[in-house]
Amino acid sequence: MDHLNRLHDLFKQFPGIGPRQAKRFVYFLLGTSDAFREALAKEVSELASRVTICSSCYRYFDSKGLAAHACSTCKDPNRDQESLMIVAKDVDLDAVEKSRVYRGYYFVLGNTLSLVEKEPETKIRAKELVLAIEARAKKGLKEIILALSLNSEGENTREYVEQFISPLVRAYKLKVSILGRGLSTGTELEYSDAETIKNALLGRRQETMM
Ligand SMILES: [Zn+2]
């Protein structure tokens, strides 16, 4: 396979990128300067050595190659100790953080669950979530906010997580709420603007746990 095709094949594996867009990326790169391509190659090659996964919320963060374990959000003692927001992906966390209305801590599940998922506990960070809730509960956690997209996978994930954490919710007498009005059906959190997220957060509803 020649080099153009190899690069094309790599771009095709990106989420949401089809063969035609992959080809456009290759031709775009051909038209850029050497400096641009070198900068891109450097950033890509340094991803693994510089970016770490946070041991507390499981988001990716730039540890600058140092042996840091927690991200700046998790290390910030001035955040609201009483709330923990559960999101599916890093991009959702970024969207909420950008809205600047939430001051608590986060947990990133890493995935959503489809209706046909046979082993949900292996697809999302279920065990890690239990440990995170226990650790936060000891520091004054009162509320868990399930911030999942309002599509079928998001709903399915929410139902699974609610069931999964219910023993902890009872044991630590936690309140569980879900994002309310503002987010319309089918909306993906990652594509919601700051105002929408703010409204959804302010209008969150408390769940009645079984
Ligand atoms: Zn973190």
pLDDT mean over 75-93: 95
Question: Ligand 1 centroid to 26 CA: how many Å?
Answer: 35
Q: How many angstroms does the Cα of residue 5 sit away from the middle of ligand 1?
A: 38
Report the separation in Å between the CA atom of 105 and the middle of ligand 1, taken as the mean of its atom positions.
Answer: 8
Record the pTM.
0.81
64 falls within a domain:
no
CATH number, domain with residue 89: 3.40.1360.10
- Tell me how far the alpha carbon of residue 111 lies from the centroid of ligand 1, in angstroms: 17
Q: 201 and 112, same structural domain?
A: yes
Is 101 a member of any domain? yes
Cβ-contact 26, 4 below 8 angstroms: yes
How many domains are contained in the chain? 2
23-74 pLDDT tens trace: 999 999 999 999 999 999 999 998 888 888 999 999 999 887 677 689 999 9
Domain presence at residue 61:
no
- Residue 185: what pLDDT? 63
> Which residue range is the domain that position 137 belongs to?
77-206
Give 65: exposed, middle or buried? Use CB within 10 Å, 0-12, 13-18, 19+. Answer: exposed
Where residue 30 sits, what CATH number does that domain have?
1.10.8.420
The confidence score (pLDDT) of residue 182 equals 61
Check whether 178 has a pLDDT greater than 60: yes
Q: Do 120 and 172 sit in the same domain of this protein?
A: yes
Q: What is the pLDDT of residues 137-156, one digit of tens each?
A: 999 999 999 999 888 899 99
